[in-house]
Structure 1
Amino acid sequence: MESISELYCAKQAPMAQRAKTIVGAVGWVFVGLGLALLAFGAWAIAPFSLKPFYVIRTAELVLKAPFTERMVIGDSRVSFAEAPSGSLFAGYGGATSRDLERVSGILCTLSNAQVTIALGINDTKPWEHDEAGSRRAFGKIVANCQRDHLWLSAIWPAEASMPPGGKAYDPVMTATLNAHLEALAQRAGARFMSAPQMQPNYTYDGVHFTEPVSHDYARRLAYPEQVLASP
């Protein structure tokens, strides 16, 4: 005759097997969801780059976007800046407005947050000049991100006197696109935030800001209404 312990173990074995099966199935579901998220992130950022870093970063942004109160979309200046509390910074180094048209629309669709668009400096590189394309991209981004609290940041100029990269950005194109952004904001009911007066040596390589300036840049982008309201 089987002992009580043997009977207990015999009854527990099928239950343990079922539990393992369920845990395994749940694990595969999460693996599948993770792969699907990465695939979506790759598609979203594909016009710009399929490098693993950008794909993973985009997947992370897709997950966080619905839960943030303030979102800033930009280039390396945004990615290098420390995001103030309560804000999500979607920065892609080297990206033009044309590169981020798709991912901007996706992030804005997923989020009801206040949005600041801080793109354009890379559009001013002579080898990236496509004024019509930049105008179209900015128009599409604004249309996709339309909301009560949408801000367009002026392109803060490169520092031409600062090597090695200061002269790689066209100041005429910068002024041209800034005029377009200001007019676009007025037409779309968004708000335009001009660049502050810059003091010499505000960059360390001609385009990327020194730490104090980067901190101020991040604060202005994340909380533009507070900055403009201050005396």
Structure 2
Amino acid sequence: MTSLNGAIVLVTGANGGLGTHFVNQALARGAAKVYASARTPRSWDDPRVVPLTLDVTDSESIAAAAAAAQDVTVLINNAGAAVSTPGILMHTDEEIRRNVETNFLGPLFLARAFAPALRANYNAAIIDIHSALSWYAVAGIYSATKAALWSATNSLRLELAPAGVQVVGVHVGYVDTAMAAHTDDAKADPAEVVHSVLDGLEAGAHEVLADQTSVQLKAGLSAPIDVVYPQLQETTP
């Protein structure tokens, strides 16, 4: 388990709805410092918050952040990209690449860049924000990239376990942030999601299912594929 008391935390996508809660709640739990990273960092009213420029799709930016924040003990891969329409074939090259680079390659490359510091620091952890849609492919390219991140998180967990680094994978459905503004479906409170995630971290969890949608989707993974996706039954000859 990883305590946030005295931790040095780096949050990607810190300007967003979930990111802001990660910053504030980490501080409330005793974090000594939080690197609040974004492409264009904003100012914060707490001296424990260090704004940090980071573009998770840019390898030079990742390297610069790792060099500037060698004291990090908890890396929270929160930054994400989405598309407002479903499907995987009709998106542009740019939309597909942006989702792959932001949702999959970014967290993976950040984990690789910070792994030496995390291995060297006591009480270290990585939190990867997946999605319930990584288990339910209705979101096309977004689902695909989040499924890839889920797999990568499982691999990271095994690889970093010998060094005592806790790796937490988080699944959650729609959260009431700007990223989910396009849907009228039920949305989780971002403050409650972050609270559940940090509770899981400090309890030693490997995985956090932050809402009922995620619980239900994981429970259904063993079902036949045409039960998971009943629309397939409508197309069977």
In proportion to residue count, which structure has more helix? 1
Shorter-chain TM-score: which interval? 0.3 to 0.5
Q: Rg larger in 1 or in 2?
A: 1
In the superposition, the TM-score normalised over structure 2's length comes to: 0.46
